Chain A
Amino acid sequence: MIELVLDVNGAERSARVPPLRRLLDVLREEFGLTGTKEGCGEGECGACSVLLDGELVNACLVPACQAQGAKVVTVEGLARPDGTPSTLQRLFLERGAAQCGICTPGMLLAAQRFIDLGATPTDEAVREALAGNLCRCTGYSKIVEAVIEAAREARR
């Protein structure tokens, strides 16, 4: 067992866990942060995407021992401090980019990472950035539109 200490959405958290426990399970089961979803459990679907020290990762493939001391951002950490949705979240709502919602937390993190990088938000660039995040409902177009719009606002 290891004493895992990390920063989740700006707050220090700790847990005693087996070193190979998945970050996904630590977030959901130890910390009760169930916004991060499990789809495939093998890196294919992106439902478990979080930011780990700023990088987009699949939380189902990251062992606890590799998150020691890290800064993690999950979907619970995206809203503004006053609890209202971020621009990206608002645009997901307005543009109908979420239907059943299972892919949405991961999709938001992958999109946020893309926006953070500050690249020009072309259709192609956004689709590449989201290629590891599968959605069975929306057909992607509305998601891509929302991300392009949010990225434009962030660049203004």
Chain B
Amino acid sequence: MISRIPVTSARSLPEAYALLEKPPPGLRVLAGGTDLMVQLQARVGLERIGHVLDIWGLRELRFVDRAEGLLRLGALATYGDLRDSPLVRERLPALAELSREVGARAIQSRGTLGGNVCNASPAGDTLPLLIAAGASFVVGGPRGERRIAADQFFVAYRRTALAPDELFLRAELPELAPHERLVYRKVGTRRAQSISRTLLALRGGALGGRLAGVRVAAGGVAPVPLRCRLAEAALEGRPVDALAVAAARAALEGEIRPISDLRGSADYRREVTGNLLARLLPELAG
């Protein structure tokens, strides 16, 4: 029964940390609730939830700002915040655009960046973008704060590097150099087909006609959102021509691990992901 679950609604970070000093068994964090409330309603894993820590009231985690060449996104920044933030629209238009496509308006009012990251769905939309952007995640708890690279955070299917007494606090994204871009493309619709949704994100630019600082990440093609290092290696230092595209495609299709299910075969998904790469690459150079 949902009504048996005790809830602590924290009003400040110290208050939340006080509970995390000795995390009650089965503790679950609640942010905007757009994933957790659906899971509760469907009784998914209900018996494993012993206590809920409601952090929605932690205003100090709801922000978007800039510091020392980093764009910093608070855990409780909602899709609506990211969609409308002048800073995000100017510095990272891809993230504003993506946020505008998540669910619909009512989901954007409540769904948070931290919730997307910590829910750790292999098809979570922001995750490949954060990985490609070279983000690091700052997490914290009563024992202090630490920094984890986004591509190290997702350790296994729906499992993250967060300890039971830690909260995700913010993402920090290095700003793009003038010649660099962050671009993405996704196929498949939202929830109804979230398993088959494939999203590819690319960061980088061209210097003297050659690709530099390329990072590639994909969602929905493996148990975790994946940084695609082989594709990166195939692109770095190369001009964007048919040869480079073919080599990167082959590398990418080799390193992703899509599944076959009702919605599509693994081969189909490999092909789709390769197509996304071929279509996105010119945008990096352009």
Contact = CB atoms under 8 A, between A and B. Distances in A.
Contacts of A113: 105
Given A18-B3, A65-B7, A56 B38 contact: no
Contacts of A56: 105-106, 109
Interface string A37-49: 0000111101001
Interface in B181-235: 191
Interface in A107-156: 110, 113, 128-129, 131-133
Contact of A46 (B30, B106, B191): B106
Interface stretch (A5-13, A19-27, A89-97): A19-27
Contacts of B56: 66
B70 interface: no
Given A18-B3, A63-B33, A68-B9, A42 B105 contact: no
B103 A42 contact: no
Interface in A37-95: 41-44, 46, 49, 52, 55-58, 60-63, 65-66, 68
A20 B110 contact: no
A58 B107 CA distance: 7
Contacts of A65: 7, 9, 54
A110 B104 CA distance: 11
A52 B5 CA distance: 24
Interface in B1-24: 2-3, 5-7, 9
A61 B29 CA distance: 15
Given A43-B107, A44-B191, A132-B107, A62 B33 contact: yes
A72 to B, nearest CB: 13
A89 B174 CA distance: 48
A30 B88 CA distance: 41
A55 B80 contact: yes
A150 B249 CA distance: 50
> B3, B30, B80, B107: which has the most chain A beta carbons within 10 Å?
B107
24 contacts: A18-B5, A19-B5, A19-B6, A19-B54, A20-B52, A41-B41, A42-B41, A43-B37, A43-B103, A44-B191, A46-B104, A46-B106, A55-B80, A57-B110, A58-B106, A58-B107, A61-B38, A62-B110, A63-B7, A65-B7, A65-B9, A66-B33, A131-B105, A133-B104
Interface of B: 2-3, 5-7, 9, 30, 33-34, 37-38, 40-42, 52, 54, 56-57, 80, 103-107, 109-110, 191
